[in-house]
Structure 1
Amino acid sequence: MHRWTRLEDVPAELGPTVATLGNFDGVHQGHRAVLETVTDLARERGLASVAVTFDPHPVAVLHPERAPQEIASLEHRLDLLEEAGLDGVVVIEFTAEYARLSPEDFVVETFVDGLRAEVVVVGQDTRFGLHNSGDVGTMRTLGELHGFDVVVQDTAGGLDGGLRTWSSTVLRQALADGDMATANAILDRPHRVSGEVVHGHHRGRELGYPTANLAFDAVGMVPADGVYAGWLERPDLPDDHPDRRLPAAISVGTNPTFDDVEQRTVEAYVLDRLDLDLYGEVVWVDFVQRLRGNVRFDSLDELMAQMASDVDRSRDLLQQG
């Protein structure tokens, strides 16, 4: 998949396209419904399939006080867009100046001149242009004016029998609640946080459960405090390496039993492994299921007993999955 950072970088030889746009934060099932329509139409018409996305998130530029937490890193989003089968993605730097484009100027610059789109596929809640004043009706009108077809894809999904949608808003709330069943259903995969492994207090090692502590600038929305079953993946290793993807018990929070942790941390204990040295390595931590919330224990013996139980439950859950 080609990755461009400016529309001017898209080569003329790419030819006409089937295109779409969106933040694609998380690349969840609603997004993938749109992307599947894009790739199917491109295949049918013999055209290139291209998505336009933005970095940083538009709300982070226009209303930083209301900026949503990033569900997935840009790199992860691009990898997921590539897995969806696109031929190319344009990552446009979103600026205050860019936000002042009228809906028509945005469409002409992006889809007419930039991508020579014959078809533009949008979700039913797509907004674009100055003050988000462009919508699906606007896109249809502009398509008729500038000579491209518009296809509107239903992205509602079927959570709770259709009562909740496949949306980034619902997804963020599920993560904030530690509701991994809902979050992972929307994503159709385990939610991921990635970061460099750094030194912590080494308390886990002293207790017999050495953990990989992620740096505070780890990327991906960290779910609610608690203990989770999940996986630690080492992307620098080959896909077929036996230590590439490892089962883990994951702790999120400030560790209330001790008083020397002020910031929330993400730390993963790889089940039954005491031999790993992961310091300085960038890893992926995938959250499968929340086991419990955080508890302050009155003694180390109580904490140790609970940790042993958490590890056993994690092992059972991951073996089942």
Structure 2
Amino acid sequence: MITIYQPDEFPAALRPAAVTIGKFDGVHCGHQTLLELVRAESDRRGLHAVVVTFDRHPLALFAPDRCPVPILSPRQQLEQIATFGVDAAVVLPFTRELANLSPEEFIERVLVEQLGTELLIVGSDFRFGRGGAGDVELLRRVGRERGFEVIVPEDIPGPTGRRASSTWLREALSAGDVELATQMLGRYHVVSGTVVHGAKRGRELGFPTANLDPATVEGLIPADGVYAGWFRSGGRVYPTAVSVGNNPTFEGVPQRQVEAHLLDANLDLYGESVDIAFVQRIRGMEKFASLEALIERMGHDVDETRTRLRMRAETLETRRFMAGC
């Protein structure tokens, strides 16, 4: 998959194109339906499969204080999109100039002139153009005039029958419900970052941890608590107990630390880029009355992590993470 950041640089060799367009924040099961369909229809019709997305949420430009936290970093998002075998991803810079295009101008300039769209696949709630004035019916009407077809697949329900959405996925992660997130994603939610030196309290307590540098973290960090997870470094995967939060038993701990205690492995990971997959939440973050109580609880957390990961060792989500997906 090639990535293009300016639509006017779109290669002529990729025209005509079957295009799907959206923010794709999280690349959840609803997004996956669009990606699978654009790949299948492009193969069937002899077109090139192209994904159009945006470099930021619209609220990042118009109301930064209300902009939701991204579920995936741009790198993570493009990596997930690439797994669907599309030919190209076009990342549109969401500028005021782009936001001020009328729906008709967006169709003509981007879809027709720059991408050579012959087939457009979008979700039923897709809105575009100045003030979100463009919708599916407008796309269909203009498409008939400009020679491209529009396909709108049925909405994909999530695990409980509710329509899958980035908002729901973000809510689940923010509540620590990583199992619900897994069901919506068809894979584990992953946070990535670079390992840095911490206060070494875990080592002193007998549970050494790999601490992620907060400045390098990619992916929405789930709610505070302790999780069973998988840890990937250098192509190898290890079972891990993950702590998220500020460890209230100790004073002066920076907020929102992500720390991973690898089970049965003691590695020098400082400076390495690693991935942590969140499998199940074991408990919330707690303040303990003594170090002895904390150590006892950490021992229980490790035992619980072993049990839960043993039950998940052969699942599709685990195999995908083991394979680097």
Which among 292, 301, 312 is matched to residue 292 of structure 2? 301
The aligned residue for residue 268 of structure 1 is 260
The aligned residue for residue 31 of structure 2 is 31
SS of corresponding position for 2:96 = coil
4+ long deviations beyond 6 Å: none
Cα distance in 2 for partners of 1:277, 1:294 equals 27
SS of corresponding position for 2:150 = strand
Q: CA deviation at 1:257?
A: 0.7
SS of corresponding position for 2:220 = coil
The aligned residue for residue 105 of structure 1 is 105
The aligned residue for residue 179 of structure 2 is 181
Unaligned runs of 5+ in 2: 313-325
Which among 186, 190, 201 is matched to residue 192 of structure 1? 190
SS of corresponding position for 1:39 = helix
The aligned residue for residue 247 of structure 2 is 255
Q: Which amino acid aligns with 1:123?
A: G
Q: Which amino acid aligns with 2:242?
A: I
Which among 246, 269, 294 is matched to residue 238 of structure 2? 246
The aligned residue for residue 44 of structure 1 is 44
Q: CA deviation at 1:155?
A: 2.8
The aligned residue for residue 279 of structure 1 is 270
Equivalent residues of 1:72, 1:221 under 8 A apart: yes
Identity of aligned residues (%): 48
The aligned residue for residue 62 of structure 2 is 62
Equivalent residues of 1:31, 1:155 under 8 A apart: no
Q: CA deviation at 1:159?
A: 2.3
Q: CA deviation at 1:216?
A: 1.4
The aligned residue for residue 214 of structure 1 is 212
Larger displacement relative to structure 2 (117-126 or 262-271): 262-271
Cα distance in 2 for partners of 1:131, 1:50 equals 25
Aligned residues: 311
Cα distance in 2 for partners of 1:59, 1:39 equals 30
Equivalent residues of 2:69, 2:220 under 8 A apart: yes
TM-score by length of 1: 0.94
Unaligned runs of 5+ in 1: none
Larger displacement relative to structure 2 (4-13 or 27-36): 4-13
Cα distance in 1 for partners of 2:300, 2:108 equals 59
Cα distance in 1 for partners of 2:163, 2:89 equals 25
User: What do the CA deviations read for 1:29-74 (whole angstroms, capped 9, x no partner)?
Assistant: 1000011111111011011000111112222112111111110111
TM-score by length of 2: 0.93
